[in-house]
Chains A and B, each alone.
Chain A
Amino acid sequence: MNWLNLSWQIYTSEARKLMSYRADFWAKSLVTFLTAMTIAYCLWHSIYESTGKTEIQGYRFEVMILYYFVILNVRKLVEGEELGGGMSQEIYDGSLSRYLIYPLNYLRFKYIQHLGAQFPIYLQVAFFTLLFPLLFTFQLEIPLSLTHLLLALLIIYLAHFTQFLMLYCIEGIAFWADNIWSLIVMLRFTGRLLGGVMLPLEIFPDWATPLLNLLPFKSFFYLPTKIMMGEATLAQITSGLMTLLIWMVILAIVGKFTWRRGLLTYSGVGI
């Protein structure tokens, strides 16, 4: 029970902290989401118009806009607002020291904090979902069942955890390297490109498919989006789940090793 109480306290503290910055909370989410949707709308509108096609790689224009709407929300749920860098910053400025003195597991603490930071995003995603019918007056039939929805949410949760482990591994490099910001930016950019956030994966050439299946990014964003659009098969879902689980194990081992070695070199600067 003690551990549950602590987890709840960490979770709510982080959520309260983020929601205390009200202007930032709405401005950041509205601006980034509406900008991304506007770019997608204008870009694909002109592509469909200039090519005269009604369908590109199986996507009608309305379905393409729905795809972007869903995947941008999935991205927010998986990644959160922040680009990362919190753990590496704590190594650089010595704030990590307090967690080494407290009787707690740092990884667990940071993950629950990371989960707490997601709470405002749930509110934002709910708000945007309500906004969609007002912004776009498409007639779309989405064959989404409760089972599909629950499966998509499970994959989003596992993806969120896996990308946290990925950050944990990369930010641990800060024990040796003076700046790891570029690595985090590269990870995010690569993840979004290969996860279908920038372009639907059907547009990628065939030779890229094995690589996309091997990396976890497809399961991060594209798979839950397709499940929610009612377009994923059971085989695709199973394979995506397996990929996520394998990556979770690999990243957990690499992260544990990196941090164990890193803590031996930690000098606790700043105090």
Chain B
Amino acid sequence: MIEVQNLSKTFTLHRKDPGFLGSLKSLLWREKIKKHAVCDVSFKIEPGEIVGLLGANGAGKTTLVKMLSGIIHPSSGEASVLGYTPWERNNALRRNISLIMGQKAQLWWDLPAADCFLLLKEIYYLSDQEYQESLGSLCELLDVHSELNVQIRRLSLGERMKMELIAALLHRPKVVFLDEPTIGLDFSAQKAIRKFLLEYRAVHNPIMVVTSHYMEDIKQLCKRILIIRHGDLVYDGNLHAVANQYARDKTLEIYLDTPSADDLSFLNNFKEVKILENSNNRLRIQVERNEASRVASEVLAKFPVTDLTIEEVPLESIIEKIYQNKSH
């Protein structure tokens, strides 16, 4: 289980004026500025949950992951991962967590993957049997047997990412932090990684915390999401419930048997209705989400309808609006 209480992190940065004079000045005196990366965040993650951590660039997602994996110390607050304080770096905890960083290679570039895995076998004190079983099943799932003896630096990005996944999961961790696991990968490689993560999860059931800018990763992997904006946790809940909370409207798309709808005065009976289009046999109406089915019934009763769909605002748009602190 992961428990986080009032966790905050503030970085001190140095500001330097541009140009030669700025450089000279900075030799003698540098202005310090404070950056609040994570502010008073609290949440809980139960065993076996996969949680998506969303936020715009610089929102504080990675800082939060770095604190939970023990890489950095918080400025204030508390966190417990599997019963341990992560930044105390207890080996009992470190044997049960892993962090996959899509933007940063963790394996040793000059060694072949097989040598890196042997090193990790000893780091995690895996027995020969545990190692062979784990490596065999991970290689099978990711289909990378033929690349095991190639130097990491010579692998393609997709192959390297697969090796990073094997390295991170070799010791079967109970908590896995995935920071942008599919960044820079082509569509089929992204799909393969997502499929692998789901299969791995089905067998081993670890806690997974996924940060990604690809909504497809989040939609496929996570039921619950945490949205961080400027360091604040602004949403913690079901991925699909985010629409109920943040998207006030739905759009009715109606295809008519006539060129357009003549009399739409009945729409005045509903709150916040907006006619988006009424031509070429097509009528599009934006309505408050609770009124959508009633409006649809009225339209069906009044016009010769050939097709009708009720559209949700795309999840990507809702989340983008939350990032920007706007509402639909």
Contacts and interface: CB of A to CB of B under 8 A. Distances in A.
Interface in A1-39: 2, 5-6, 8-10, 13, 16-17, 20
B125 interface: yes
A17 B123 CA distance: 18
B216 to A, nearest CB: 22
B73 interface: yes
A94 B97 contact: no
Given A266-B71, A268-B66, A271-B104, A100 B89 contact: yes
Contacts of A42: none
B132 to A, nearest CB: 15
A190 interface: no
B247 to A, nearest CB: 32
B122 A5 contact: yes
A253 interface: no
B62 interface: yes
Nearest to B12: A265
B89 A271 contact: no
B119 A13 contact: yes
B91 interface: yes
Interface string A77-105: 00000000000000000110110111110
- Kindly state the interface size class of chain A when it binds its partner: 20 to 34
Contacts of A9: 118-119, 121-122
B91 to A, nearest CB: 4
B201 interface: no
A261 to B, nearest CB: 11
A177 to B, nearest CB: 11
Contacts, number: 71
Interface in A140-164: none
Nearest to A106: B89
Contacts of B106: 98
Contacts of A266: 71-73
A267 interface: yes
Interface residues of B, number: 33
A97 B123 CA distance: 15
B235 to A, nearest CB: 24
Given A271-B101, A271-B104, A101 B69 contact: yes
A13 B108 contact: yes
A101 B71 contact: yes
Contact of B11 (A17, A101, A267): A267
Contact of A13 (B89, B104, B111, B151): B111
Contact of B123 (A16, A94, A103, A267): A103
A126 interface: no
Nearest to A263: B73
A148 B283 CA distance: 98
Given A94-B104, A101-B99, A102-B94, A268 B123 contact: no
Contact of A97 (B66, B95, B115, B118): B66
Nearest to A1: B125
A104 B101 contact: no
A107 to B, nearest CB: 13
Contacts of B89: 100
Contacts of B69: 101
B270 interface: no
Contact of B91 (A98, A103, A268): A103
Interface of A: 2, 5-6, 8-10, 13, 16-17, 20, 94-95, 97-98, 100-104, 263-264, 266-268, 270-271
7 contacts: A6-B122, A9-B121, A16-B115, A97-B66, A101-B70, A101-B71, A271-B103
Given A101-B69, A103-B91, 20 more contacts: A5-B122, A6-B122, A8-B122, A9-B118, A9-B121, A13-B115, A20-B151, A97-B101, A97-B104, A98-B106, A100-B71, A101-B71, A101-B97, A101-B98, A102-B94, A103-B124, A264-B73, A266-B71, A268-B66, A270-B104
